[in-house]
Amino acid sequence: MIDEATVRTAQERARHYFRTRCTEAPAETIRASVRDACESIEGFLASVPVSAVMTARPGHWSIQETVDHLVETYRPGLDELRCLLAGQAPPGDPIPASLRSKAPGLRPWAWLLRELQQIHADVGALLASARDDRPTTARAPIVMVVNVQGVDGTLVPIEWVEDLDWKAYAMVSWRLHTIDHMKQARAALAALHP
C-alpha cells in the first residue's frame, strides 16, 4: 500500500528530472547518455551464456524475456521518437509497460541480440540528427513505472502516464528503461550463481 503523498513526491521528482536532466540538457548530453546505456547493456548481454538466458527467478522475467520486452517496446518507441523530432505528437496510446512478443521464449537469442543492436543503431542515427534548436513542444505519452517504498517498507511499483518532449522521451526510453532492465537481467544472472 502506498499513500498519495508518496506518489506525488515520486511524480514531482520524476518531473524535476525530466526538466533539468533532459529538456534543459544539451542534445549531445542526451546522445551520449543514451549511447552509454545502449553500449552497456549490449556488452553485458554479450557476456551472458546462452544456457542462462531462459532461466527465471520466480515472479521475474528471464533475461530472454527482458530482451524481448526491450525489442518490442523499442520498435514503436523509435517511431514515436521520429514523430517528436518532426514536431508532432505520435498518434495512439502509450506503449504498454509490460509489452512482450507473443512467444518471447521461441525467438532465437542471437536474433534478439541483433535486433536490439540494430534498434540501438537506429536510435543513435536518429538522435545524431537532433540539434539543440529542435523544438521540444511536441509531446508523447509514456507509461512511467517507478518503484517507491510502501508503508510496510517494501518497494512497490507505481504507474502513471506522463507526456514527454523528445529529449525526455529519449532519456526515459533508451537510458532509464535500459538501465532498469539491465539491472533486472544482472539479477537474473546472479541468481543462477549465488
Taking only the tens place, the pLDDT of each residue in 98-124 is: 999 999 999 999 999 999 999 999 999
- Minimum mean pLDDT among 148-157, 158-167, 178-187: which range? 148-157
- Name residue 141's beta-bridge partners: 163
Query: What domains are there in the chain, each with its CATH number?
Result: 4-192 (1.20.120.450)
Candidate from 6-10, 43-47, 113-117, 139-143 with smallest mean pLDDT? 6-10
pLDDT per residue as tens digits for the range 160-182: 999 999 999 999 999 999 999 99
Q: What is the pTM of this model?
A: 0.94
Separation between Cα atoms, residue 173 and residue 52, nearest integer Å? 26
The three grid cell numbers given for residue 192, joined into one nine-digit string: 543462477
Average pLDDT, the chain: 94
